[in-house]
């Protein structure tokens, strides 16, 4: 089975890298929030900018995937449907999380800037709705983490136990056969 096209592989691993950096910003912000408020503000702004970048890369990935002629590894129909559902859910979460995060902070009146340059429009001040958005954002983030773990385990399962070259097809070093 042929590897995924290089652009799809690059976008996949770039997204994975961005999500890991995003998680590190969240964890670091939780550690410094009360002690270093200026650093916390920088981390929040970086988190917002990275979220927007993840949204853009995810939309690009989805487009590339739709127009690529790539098939899933041959497997049972149930497994193929589960894989498609998993990928779609990951794409949706990677798009929805930045939007909900933006709504959370904008509803609290934060001055939001992408990469310190582009100001995002504010929303009417609404702490109650912001709290709901915060809860949704946190819950969606936890769901994303759980699905990423399941995604990795499924790739390992298909590679090791099921004999399918799923993981090898996505590795950056995979050679495209003509």
Neighbouring CB atoms inside 10 A of 155's CB total 17
| Model confidence, pTM | 0.88
User: What's residue 178's pLDDT?
Assistant: 42
Could you tell me if residue 109 is left (phi over 0), alpha (psi between -120 and 50 degrees) or otherwise beta?
left
Pseudo-torsion of CA 10, 11, 16, 18, nearest 10°?
110
Lookup: tokens for 161: 């136990």
Instruction: Please state the rounded mean pLDDT for residues 51-75.
Output: 85
Burial class (CB in 10 A: 0-12, 13-18, 19+), 32: middle
| pLDDT tens by residue, 6-61 | 899 899 999 999 999 999 999 999 999 899 999 999 999 999 999 999 999 999 99
User: What's residue 71's pLDDT?
Assistant: 66
17, HSE (Cβ side, Cα atoms, 13 Å)? 8
Lookup: tokens for 105: 């902070």
| pLDDT tens by residue, 160-178 | 766 666 777 777 776 655 4
User: What's residue 133's pLDDT?
Assistant: 98
At residue 114, φ and ψ (nearest 5 deg) are -90, 120
């Amino acid at each position: 089975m042929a590897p995924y096209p290089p652009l799809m592989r690059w976008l996949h691993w770039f997204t994975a890298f961005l999500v890991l950096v995003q998680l590190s910003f969240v964890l670091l912000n939780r550690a410094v929030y009360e002690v270093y408020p200026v650093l916390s503000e920088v981390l929040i702004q970086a988190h917002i900018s990275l979220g927007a970048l993840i949204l853009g890369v995810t939309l690009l990935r989805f487009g590339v995937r739709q127009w690529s002629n790539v098939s899933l590894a041959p497997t049972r129909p149930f497994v193929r449907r589960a894989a498609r559902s998993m990928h779609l859910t990951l794409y949706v979460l990677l798009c929805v999380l930045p939007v909900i995060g933006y709504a959370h902070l904008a509803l609290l009146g934060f001055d939001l800037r992408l990469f310190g340059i582009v100001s995002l429009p504010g929303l009417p001040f609404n702490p109650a709705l912001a709290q709901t958005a915060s809860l949704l954002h946190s819950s969606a983030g936890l769901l994303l983490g759980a699905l990423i773990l399941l995604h990795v385990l499924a790739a390992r399962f298909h590679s090791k136990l099921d004999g399918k070259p799923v993981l090898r097809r996505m590795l950056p070093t995979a050679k495209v056969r003509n």
